[in-house]
Amino acid sequence: MGKVVVGATVICGATVCAVAALIVRHRMRSAARWAKAMEIVRELEEKCATPTAKLRQVADAMTVEMHAGLASEEGSMLKMLISYVDNLPTGDEHGLFYALDLGGTNFRVLRVQLGRKEGRVVKQEFTEVSIPPKLMVATSEELFDFIAAELAKFVATEENDFQLTPGRQRELGFTFSFPVMQTSISSGTLIRWTKGFSIDDAVGQDVVAELTKAMEKNGLDMRVAALVFLIIVTAMWTEITMSMQVNDTIGTLAGGRYFNNDVSAAVILGTGTNAAYVERAHAIPKWQGLLPSSGEMVINMEWGNFRSSHLPVTEYDQALDVESLNVGEQIFEKIISGMYLGDIVRRVLCKMAVEATFFGDNVPPKLQVPFILRTPEMSAMHHDTSPDLKVVGDKLKGILGIHYTSLKTRKVVVELCDIVATRGARLAAAGIFGILKKIGKDSVKEGEKKKTVISMDGGLFEHYTAFSQCLESTLKELVGEEVAETIIVEHANDGSGIGAALLAASHSQHLGTD
């Protein structure tokens, strides 16, 4: 009996030891996994660091590239495109004008009734249309035919509240949010697509001519438009004149200037990113011909293509770039804009899942799908203030198929969002600081306290609060307290859309006839 008890005791002891050893090994393995995961996070944090000194270097590099781009067409990675807009709105514009805003995966059609300074914007209406993904990689004709058809539908809903001056044609401002070489106020050649579009036969073509052709095909000229109105209202002839082709950032600048004469620059931070500003005409060496009477010219920077050795680019950014449709281009855009921030976070999480088994022994399949984690979802996780970070847990489960996550894990996800968003916001602020340096607004002259307003637009700036707050605080950090009192960062709600209509008004063929 004694031997049996001893044997049982030995067996139990061995079992306990074995279990204890398994627990120790599990804990050691978990600790090793966590240590590896934290190593990846700390490395990302280090690579994304944007100390003030680095941001000043980025701003200086931006200013240098601006000078080079203004000197010659091929002098810089920044196109510094001459917009031919030398006549920004003043507030005196009046009448009915249309705008078409093609800015990404959606486009917006807007009509506005202007009533001079007394009435400003009397009334406006708009409709928003999603572009089928297949058309983003189709042909130029198919894309513009779809847009023109939707525009025709909208024009057909015009009611009596909108009054077209007798004898006038309808005029349209066209917001086109892609790199364009403008050859006049109403024509421009597409340089390249961004934001997921890839339509080869449109590159090198005049996008205004493409849209005009599609409008005619879809009834938006006098003859065919009458048929549309005969069906819906009366036998009323109608025609649309292409008055303006304008980049969305220039539209934002115009919209901002219409309400505030101190607006000097505009920045779009949405799916993509860009900036435009008012330059002194004599400071544009590549300008050919007579200087505009206003002495000013709006410059479309196309700053998304900016790159510099000072930019904190990580392995995740490099991998994203290699897999993109425009390898080696739009580097600045790929690290600060809404199209890409969420996917950068996904790529970091994927590496942690592979190398540190962060979400268990198997890598969640959905985590390997490019762009499955969109920036709006990243923003929602970043802003989660619930005690258990429920929003983070729900997003990981619903989007990435990761069903069980600890609070500790969720906190790491929030930290990743913060690292990536902070880098983007601070770099965007450095870009704005570069513009301020170029136009001499980075210092305050004695006795002068004139305000400089930066008009901002885009979903990233408007809806990602942590991003926009970080951008504004970083800009103050860069310019210093005294100058910060003269700099105003202002959200221009629907600036690009209404701005295009305003530019159609300020460049109307009927200007000065009444």
* Active-site residue list: 108, 177, 248
CA 130 from chain centre, in angstroms, equals: 17
Q: Which amino acid is at 252?
A: T
Three-class SS state of 171? strand
Asked if 307 and 334 touch (Cβ cutoff 8 Å), the reply is: no
Partners of 258 in the beta sheet? none
Amino acid identity, position 375: T
Total residues found in the chain within this entry? 514
- What is the distance in angstroms between the CA of the first residue and the CA of the last residue of the chain? 118
The pairing of strands 487-491 and 452-457 is parallel
Cβ contact 275:249 at 8 Å: yes
- Three-state secondary-structure class, residue 122: strand
Residue 207 and residue 244: Cα distance in Å, rounded? 11
Element (H, E) at 114: strand 106-115
| Spatial contact of 128 and 108, defined as CB atoms under 8 Å apart | yes
What is the rounded CA–CA span in Å between residue 284 and residue 37? Answer: 50
What distance in Å separates the CA atoms of residue 202 and residue 353, rounded to the nearest whole number? 41
CA 299/CA 283 separation, integer angstroms: 11
Strands (E), 93-231: 94-102, 106-115, 121-130, 170-176, 180-184, 187-190
* CA dist list (Å): 179 to 80, 116, 147, 301, 354: 10, 32, 19, 9, 38
Q: Provide φ and ψ at 323, rounded to 5°.
A: -90, 0
Q: What is the 3-state secondary structure (H, E, C) of 363-377?
A: CCHHHHCCCCCCHHH
* 3-state secondary structure (DSSP) of residue 455: strand
The CA-CA-CA angle for residues 199, 202, 203, to 5°, reads: 95
